[in-house]
Structure 1
């Protein structure tokens, strides 16, 4: 026993220090206290980095640490996000037989025919005026989780939070289980999965603040694992489930174009090819696609998504849902990168905020980039497909008007199965965006946003174009 303590004295010291930091983060932090927020977060990131580095050959010790760190947060109400109040609201509506897609919370509260739900006013106040004045944009499988909490929790907000956390922790350890298997299949070190599972960003934003990107991520990884096992029909159903949690994986569908191909030789790179040869190869790639299997895959994915929406469908549903989704492109702005540059140019030329126009153009540019990745990049092995998905979502966020911190969960998860580590750097730097919560006017510090993206984009460019410059393997 004493020998074991001596052997692990440094990891144990790091572990207990991290546990104290998590406790302080969960129970003794106001999100307006930005200096304390970034100090705790930076400390947790460093401690997690060292724990993984020292114990990377001890898989179950790291898994145990991940469980304990989450248990510390188990009864804490989220302190960096108020979205969970809307989750509880939607769930209690469903538990009372009310379709959450058909009205905003404010309109329901004003309706004479609304019978009410328990703690209705407290939930509306908690979610904030922005959420309360807009239709819900959470897809059906996410709503099912909300409904389970609504049916079970009664009048307890804390019990609802605990039920949400059960779904999230099961998903995260599903990622641990299947992610480990997938890493082995891809001949990558299995401890890479802990750059997701033990990352304080994931523990705080998903388990702590109740963002369901982990649940979506579980279905994405399970779908990839099934595809690697050549079980594409089951993989299609599971990918459909991921879209029914969050719509984000819809953007990955074009990237499967070359995955269902009889040509699986993308590891053989031919140097000094001329443009004519490259174009000829692209035509050959398209000819080698197994179109029946590809179209069958797409059909099953979309059928799964459509069927999940059917219980909620009526004449007003689609209009309300897509109106809410559209707001993220044309009304809201937070922690953006290239959009803020475009906005500044718009002010110089037009004299006003051009978000309405930019919100229509930027998605088109994003679509063209994803189409280019699908057509001109070899995505016919699982490794290259996941890398393609990573860069598709990276460009999507770079051109988005709104990038909330928890959005980075998906590129972080994808990066674990690739050679790229810039999303890990992003999971550290994104905490700078929380500066906006540190002032009553909710103003962002654009210098901090600039610092975040200069470091992240700079690291990404170096990894892609100058990999030899990163001679050290920081996250191996």
Structure 2
């Protein structure tokens, strides 16, 4: 064995061992785990979070080591059919529609299945796999989301696994882009570049994005790229890239008021115009007179019909029920209030906080989306990843804690009726809010 390699192994023996065990545990989670085996799932996640922490602690200046470890962990999932989420069936369904020039915003899967000549490969399997809830609603995925679906259907060779692999490669490439631009942006902000590894090596990111094929990573790639362009004062191009982020997931719309303070009135108006024009251009191929009503109807369901892993909402619901209010009526009223609370918060942070500095702007973004998910009725585990990424650029660590605690919500997957355990949800939010309070009020290094 060459002396140089021997020396390297001696110096990095423990981190290499942690990396090896991480890969073994990811393989176990991917290929040897039943969705209903909650204890095994939680134990694997706990171990993976420990290894993530130790790897960053030992190798934070060795970014190549951390990069390779993160890539290998993702490649373990490359040929896996997701078993913690069924959303991929709808993704492939929408992609098949787009490839066949059928507008996914105009007909529900249930309605289309009545068409005996429907030109969709594996239509029956996709329709059954997506579940009854998804099948009876119009698509809620913005146009760039649909483009990735279409590429997956086009390049997947009419195979579900082929389409899965194309989407998975897209997600992995997006994470590599986040690693690249994240490091550059951290350097620009005079922050340690290794902080991006709290995102890149985070088990929730690897499992939910690469493993379960959720597209937050692609949305966040465009967001970080846009913020990096802003750091270089290339705000016109940043506006185009920001529109791409919005056209994958609508979440960045929450941040729009903040740019008024960051760029100033004149620049921000042009910035908004660029975002609006680019977004409109991306939506135009899907336009139809029924598009707006169908899309609004589907998006409205997230605020007024669904509930999962909710924090403040569950407390408010308990109080409302004790006052004899009907749960199905309360969620509709509560859901109508959430967007307004978020908007008011964004406006307050725009005018009461100096967001001229890019780091302060990103911290304001983190607080807006944190509040939004704290009060939302539906908080799927992968939603927290947006808070995690924005949190890597400042001193707050509660987003990292939340990505670990949100695994408690997976308990519902182990129940036949997906019933949640309110004790576990209370524990999750108590720990997160407690740590958040500690960082804000008691930590000596926080401002």
**Which TM bucket (shorter chain)?**
over 0.9
- Supply the distance in 2 between the matched residues of 1:6 and 1:294 (Cα, whole angstroms): 54
Cα displacement string for residues 173-200 of structure 1 (whole angstroms, at most 9, x for unaligned residues): 1111111010001011111010000111
2:378 match: secondary structure: coil
Q: What does residue 207 of structure 1 align with?
A: 210
CA contact (8 A) 2:100 2:119 kept: no
Return the match for 2:427 from 451, 454, 475.
Answer: 451
Return the match for 2:104 from 100, 105, 122.
Answer: 100
Q: What does residue 154 of structure 2 align with?
A: 151
- 1:469 positional shift: 8.5
1:417 match: secondary structure: coil
1:350 match: secondary structure: coil
Give yes or no for the alignment of 1:192 onto 2:195: yes
Return the match for 1:111 from 89, 104, 115.
Answer: 115
- Supply the distance in 1 between the matched residues of 2:344 and 2:307 (Cα, whole angstroms): 22
Give yes or no for the alignment of 1:365 onto 2:369: no
For residues 126-141 of structure 1, the aligned pairs below 5 Å read 126-141=129-144
- Supply the distance in 1 between the matched residues of 2:367 and 2:267 (Cα, whole angstroms): 25
CA contact (8 A) 1:48 1:200 kept: yes
Cα displacement string for residues 95-120 of structure 1 (whole angstroms, at most 9, x for unaligned residues): 111111111111111235x5241111
- 1:3 positional shift: 2.4
Q: 5+ unaligned residues in a row in structure 1: which ranges?
A: 261-288, 471-476
Give yes or no for the alignment of 1:308 onto 2:311: no
Q: What does residue 410 of structure 1 align with?
A: 386
For residues 274-293 of structure 1, the aligned pairs below 5 Å read 289=264, 291-293=265-267
Q: What does residue 398 of structure 1 align with?
A: 374
Cα displacement string for residues 281-316 of structure 1 (whole angstroms, at most 9, x for unaligned residues): xxxxxxxx3x22110001101111111111000111
Give yes or no for the alignment of 1:238 onto 2:241: yes
CA contact (8 A) 2:79 2:161 kept: yes
For residues 252-267 of structure 1, the aligned pairs below 5 Å read 252-260=255-263
- Supply the distance in 2 between the matched residues of 1:349 and 1:136 (Cα, whole angstroms): 37
- Supply the distance in 2 between the matched residues of 1:361 and 1:199 (Cα, whole angstroms): 33
CA contact (8 A) 1:21 1:40 kept: yes
Q: What does residue 125 of structure 2 align with?
A: 122
- Supply the distance in 1 between the matched residues of 2:280 and 2:249 (Cα, whole angstroms): 14
- Supply the distance in 2 between the matched residues of 1:395 and 1:314 (Cα, whole angstroms): 34
Give yes or no for the alignment of 1:69 onto 2:73: yes
CA contact (8 A) 1:462 1:469 kept: no
1:98 match: secondary structure: coil
Give yes or no for the alignment of 1:295 onto 2:295: no
- Supply the distance in 1 between the matched residues of 2:7 and 2:187 (Cα, whole angstroms): 32
For residues 213-224 of structure 1, the aligned pairs below 5 Å read 213-224=216-227
- 1:345 positional shift: 1.5
Runs of 4+, deviation exceeding 6 Å? none
In the superposition, the TM-score normalised over structure 1's length comes to 0.91
For residues 11-22 of structure 1, the aligned pairs below 5 Å read 11-22=15-26
Cα displacement string for residues 192-231 of structure 1 (whole angstroms, at most 9, x for unaligned residues): 0100001111110101110110000010100100000000
- Supply the distance in 1 between the matched residues of 2:429 and 2:394 (Cα, whole angstroms): 21
* Root mean square deviation, CA, Å: 1.2
For residues 409-448 of structure 1, the aligned pairs below 5 Å read 409-448=385-424
- Supply the distance in 2 between the matched residues of 1:182 and 1:97 (Cα, whole angstroms): 39
1:398 match: secondary structure: helix
CA contact (8 A) 2:112 2:118 kept: no
Q: What does residue 53 of structure 2 align with?
A: 49
Give yes or no for the alignment of 1:30 onto 2:34: yes
Q: Which sits farther off after the overlay, 362-371 or 208-217?
A: 362-371
CA contact (8 A) 1:330 1:359 kept: yes
- Supply the distance in 1 between the matched residues of 2:16 and 2:84 (Cα, whole angstroms): 28
**Structure 1 pair 223–469 and aligned structure 2 pair: CA distance change class (3 A):** closer
How many residues matched?
440
Return the match for 1:467 from 426, 443, 447.
Answer: 443
- Supply the distance in 2 between the matched residues of 1:306 and 1:59 (Cα, whole angstroms): 39
Q: 5+ unaligned residues in a row in structure 2: which ranges?
A: none
Give yes or no for the alignment of 1:251 onto 2:254: yes
In the superposition, the TM-score normalised over structure 2's length comes to 0.97
- Supply the distance in 1 between the matched residues of 2:115 and 2:123 (Cα, whole angstroms): 13
Q: What does residue 264 of structure 1 align with?
A: none
- Supply the distance in 2 between the matched residues of 1:459 and 1:469 (Cα, whole angstroms): 14
- Supply the distance in 1 between the matched residues of 2:246 and 2:342 (Cα, whole angstroms): 19
